[in-house]
Amino acid sequence: MVSIIKPRKKKILEAVIRDYINTAEPVGSRTLSRRYDLGVSPATIRNEMSDLEEMGYLMQPHTSSGRIPTQKAYRYYVDEIMQIKKLAETMRRDIHKGYLQAGQEIESAVSHTANVLSTLTNYTAVVLAPRVSRFNCKHLQIIPLIRNRVLVVMVTIEGIAKNIEVNLSAEVDDAMALKMSNVLNSILKDVAFQNFGTDLIDSISELTPVEKQLLDELVPTIRDALLESETDVTASGFKNLLNYPEFNSVDKIKNLVDVVEAKPLLAKVMIDGAEKDEHNNRVIHVSIGDENDNQHLKEFSIITSTYEREGLPVGAFGVIGPTRMNYSQVSSILDAIREELNANIMKLLK
């Protein structure tokens, strides 16, 4: 599937990509021979670059300017050239310390992750909170608010709390709420929230028709609201992207704002990425420019990873930036955060 590129071409291609990632300027043959130790003259480099252009890896913004990598080149670089280096030990330790200070609340861990990611990478970070729907219910409680409105508090076995407000078709008083809580707790204890169903409610005998009706309403509503709430994305470091020449005009920045504010879209991208990775046995997922389904994302690259509980992914996080992204460095950082997060979540939740 992957076309084989001769070593010298490969070396030149890598140099072009590296240089362009650093400078954002089209790269010419003379610059290349000056800055990199390629062992051949500019003229030879010119010939090779001409070939690489023919092959679709490079392109010229204008005749007689240097060349820039195509998205195909980035894909080749990510798949065949770069390697994910392990982050320096000192850095990993700093990351670890940061998490210790961040506090144990899930929300703190999530926002801390977003901050660390955006600070280390200098791109914009996006983080998906743990998908509570995949966790098992330890405790569930219904608290009446006012009239027909109740608060449902859910606690997972790991001690993660989640609450949802629901409007029901009839008024609920304290006694009813308690009874309904007890019924649901007995049925749903140790069940994953996403598997909540009303099937078992029929088997409970001592329910009034109204109570049964309310429970029938409540269970699917809770499940849906829970799934809905899981597209909440925490973003950090929007400002970082403003430093790149790719976003040097107000129009481009408007487009950028659209992307960063489209939280459900970003959630979808991360979830899709995670699923593709499960197939490929990869832990870092890279989506480059046009590879993104969504129109708004065609000029961005997104690198994502997941964190896990008991070997199953429960959350995702990633970085969004221009297609001219430092794929290698970002991958290393994501890898380190992933390890820290897995270790940390395990520790936190066990």
Positions touching a second copy (CB under 8 A) are 104-105, 139, 141, 143, 145-147, 149, 151, 153, 155, 158-161, 163, 165, 167, 238-239, 242, 247-250, 253-254, 257-258, 261
Of 157, 132, 193, residue with least CA distance to 349: 157
Name which of 257 and 312 has its Cβ closer to a second copy: 257
Site for DNA in 43-102 (CB under 7 A): 43-44, 46-47, 49-50, 53, 60, 62-67
Closer residue to DNA (CB): 50 or 167: 50
d(CA 82, CA 236): 26
Q: Pick from DNA, a second copy, none: which does 60 bind, CB < 5 to 8 A by kind?
A: DNA
Q: Is 21 in the site for DNA (CB under 7 A)?
A: no
The span of 28-36, 68-76, 256-264, 319-327 binding DNA (CB under 7 A) equals 28-36
Nearest to 29 by CA among 50, 57, 8: 50
49 binds, among a second copy, DNA, none (CB under 5 to 8 A by kind): DNA
What the block records as the tokens of 248 is 């040097």
The helix (run of H) or strand (run of E) holding residue 263 is helix 263-280
Strands 312-322, 58-59: pairing is: unpaired
8-state DSSP, 80: I
Instruction: Give the tokens for residue 76.
Output: 């080749």
Strand partners, 150: 144, 166
Q: Both tokens of residue 242? A: 């403003």
CB of 328 to DNA, least distance (A): 23
* C-beta of 37 vs 173, nearer to a second copy: 173
Token reading at 308: 């896990």
How far apart (Å, rounded) are the C-alpha atoms in residues 149 and 165? 7
Asked if 27 interacts with DNA (CB under 7 A), we say yes
Indicate which of DNA, a second copy, none lies near residue 62 (CB less than 5 to 8 Å, by partner kind).
Answer: DNA
Q: How far is the CB of 251 from a second copy (least distance, A)?
A: 9
Closer Cβ to DNA, 46 or 96, answer by number: 46
- The residue among 56 and 245 lying less far from a second copy, judged by its C-beta, is 245
Query: Under the criterion CB under 7 A, does residue 252 sit at the interface with DNA?
Result: no
58-65, Cβ contacts within 8 angstroms, sequence gap of 24 or more: 58/13, 58/16, 60/26, 61/26, 65/26, 65/28
Q: Which residues bind DNA (CB under 7 A)?
A: 8, 26-31, 40-44, 46-47, 49-50, 53, 60, 62-67
